[in-house]
Amino acid sequence: MSAQQPSGYQKSLPEITPLTKPFWDATKRHELVIQRCAKCEGHQWYPRAICTLCGSRDLKWSKASGKGSIYSFVVIRQVIDNSPAFQSDIPFVLAEVELEEGPRMYAPMVGCKPEDVRIGMKVEVLFEDATDTVAIPKFKLVP
């Protein structure tokens, strides 16, 4: 991917809140964590204040395997106004990954060409350091 220096990172960054901070802290350790309900044991992504399956607020952060398969994907060929810094990445594949734990997550693919990607392919997470507080999870194809 890009060789941008963390201090010069130009792309959109999340607005980190107390709810989402454990997720972003984990990305800096290059770990993918998602919420797991202490009551019904269901997993969910993106982070929320309640378990969307059973309604419990007793949610714990759980380390995901980082493995999954592609449920769907798109090839970004044009940036929009609020995301000009992605211009240098174009074209790039954005995947909807079905994590082994169940939930689906949007994330960019790296190390592959758009024409190499198919639905159902196995993928694995890796991280790109963006700033001192944020690393972006991305996925690569695994044989």
Partner 1 sequence: MIILVRKKAAIVGYGETPFSRARADKGEATLSAEQYYAWATELVLENTGLEKSDFDGEGLAVGGSEWPHSEIWSAEVAQNLGISPKLLIRSDHGGMSGVALLIQAVLAVHSGLVEKVLCVAADSPMSLQGPASRPWRYMIDFCRPFGMMGPNSMIAFILQRYLYQYGIKPEHTGKIAVTQRQHASMNPNAYLKTPMKMEDYLNSRMIVDPIRLLDCCILVNGGLAFVVASQKEAKKITDNPVHVLGIGEAHNYLHGSRTRPDVTVTGIKPAAKEAFKMARVRTKDVCFIEPYDDYTIIVLQQLEDLGFCKKGEVGKFVDKTDLSTKGKLPVNTGGGQLSAGQAGMAGGFLHVIEAVRQLRGEGGQRQVPDADVGVVSGMGGLGYAVNLVNNGIVVFGK
Please provide residue 57's backbone torsions phi and psi, each rounded to the nearest 5 degrees. Answer: -95, 5
CB of 49 to partner 1, least distance (A): 11
The Cα 137–Cα 124 span in angstroms is: 10
Cα–Cα dist 36/110, whole Å: 27
d(CA 134, CA 73): 24
- For residue 108, the one-letter residue type is P
| Interface with partner 1, residue 32, by CB under 8 A | no
Answer yes or no: are the C-beta atoms of 37 and 53 closer than 8 Å.
Answer: yes
Q: Is 56 helix (H, G, I), strand (E, B) or coil?
A: coil
**Residue 3 or 80: which CB sits closer to partner 1?**
80
Of 16 and 142, nearer to partner 1 (C-beta) is 16
Q: Does 105 bind partner 1 (CB under 8 A)?
A: yes
Binders in 34-93 for partner 1, by CB under 8 A: 42-44, 46, 52-53, 71-80, 82-83, 86, 89, 92
| Binding residues vs partner 1 (CB under 8 A) | 11-16, 20, 42-44, 46, 52-53, 71-80, 82-83, 86, 89, 92, 94, 96, 98, 102-108, 114, 119, 130, 134, 136-137
